A and B are shown apart, each in its own frame.
Chain A
Amino acid sequence: MTTLVLVSHPHLADSTSQQFLKASLPANEDIIWEHIESQPTLDVAKEQDQLRHADRIILQFPLYWYAAPAGLKQWEDTVLTRTFVYGDHRYPLADKELGIVVTTGMPGKAFQRGGAEQITLDAALAPLAAVAERAKMTWLPIFAIHQFAYLEEPEKLQLVVDYQRYLTQEQPDSLGDRQAWFAQRLPEMIKQLPPEQQATGRLIEAEFSQQKDDIDALADTLSLIKEQEDD
């Protein structure tokens, strides 16, 4: 899977959350990362090619006044031309996934009716969802990071992998898809371990894989029972 990460931030170097996310990008994966505001001028043909080539497109930005920064809007207005998105009834972005990684200065509970912001992120970012709909893309559930500066180390460790999975894991985010994501990466992670830790790594992999098989077998048994109940 090719994932295109388009970051919009007017002062990227000063953003600890964006620097953290950049350092968390999964290694050995097909990921194209681009900072929109660093482009001296937007090369429309190149941007459109990147979009055509990607399977999953991630728009990543801080929330400014319930919307993306101006740089992303400018990118949209320049790159997402009518002809490109749906002209001549060709839809080159159809069936690609569009994901949003948004950072906010307010806690998650603020983004609901009755909360401090009185608006959900789904409502605030509805214009982007409408673009996805128009382009016949699949909209992924928003990945929100609230108050990054207040996160403690365990939460930051969790964020690394949650973010990596949002970029590269099959959707929906089910137990089956999560297991498949880890199973695919375990051999490489074990190979990277120092020699004295590799046996433990392989043991963990074997146990993990056994548990996965046990769950599959139980699920099969259960569907057999349910079939008989239907008879």
Chain B
Amino acid sequence: MTEHAQWLQLQIDKLAEQQGKFTDRAFWLALAELVREQERRSDQLCGEVDGRTWRPDRW
């Protein structure tokens, strides 16, 4: 996880902690999980773009 991603997770976790209502806390924590999923997907897509662009047969 990049430093920026870690910082974002921290912001969301802190905001979640400050919520008194259980369902509100649940919303922000679920968003934190989704942001982690975005990170993973982004990494995977970057990897796939790199992999498909690297075509030695077309050098």
Residues of A within 8 A of B (CB): 23-24, 27, 154, 157-158, 160-162, 175, 178-179, 182, 185-186, 189, 192-193, 197, 200-201, 203-204, 207-208, 211-212, 214-215, 218-219, 221-222, 225-226, 229
Contact = CB atoms under 8 A, between A and B. Distances in A.
Contacts of A215: 38, 41-42, 45
Contacts, number: 85
A161 B26 contact: yes
B37 A175 contact: yes
Interface string B12-43: 10110010001111111111011101110110
Contacts of A162: 30
A175 B15 contact: no
22 contacts: A23-B23, A154-B29, A157-B22, A158-B30, A160-B23, A179-B38, A185-B27, A197-B15, A201-B15, A204-B8, A204-B11, A204-B15, A208-B34, A214-B42, A215-B38, A215-B45, A218-B42, A222-B52, A225-B49, A225-B52, A226-B52, A229-B52
Given A219-B45, A225-B53, 13 more contacts: A23-B23, A27-B23, A160-B30, A161-B26, A175-B37, A178-B34, A182-B30, A204-B8, A204-B12, A211-B39, A215-B42, A222-B49, A225-B49
Nearest to A201: B15
A212 B38 contact: yes
- Dominant SS among interface residues on chain A: helix
Closest 10 CB pairs of A and B: A160-B26, A161-B30, A218-B45, A211-B38, A157-B26, A225-B52, A161-B26, A207-B8, A200-B15, A157-B29
A219 B30 CA distance: 24
Nearest to B20: A194
Interface of B: 8, 11-12, 14-15, 18, 22-31, 33-35, 37-39, 41-42, 45-46, 48-49, 52-53
B59 to A, nearest CB: 16
- Dominant SS among interface residues on chain B: helix
Nearest to A178: B34
Nearest to A221: B49
Given A157-B22, A160-B26, A161-B30, A222 B45 contact: yes
B29 to A, nearest CB: 5
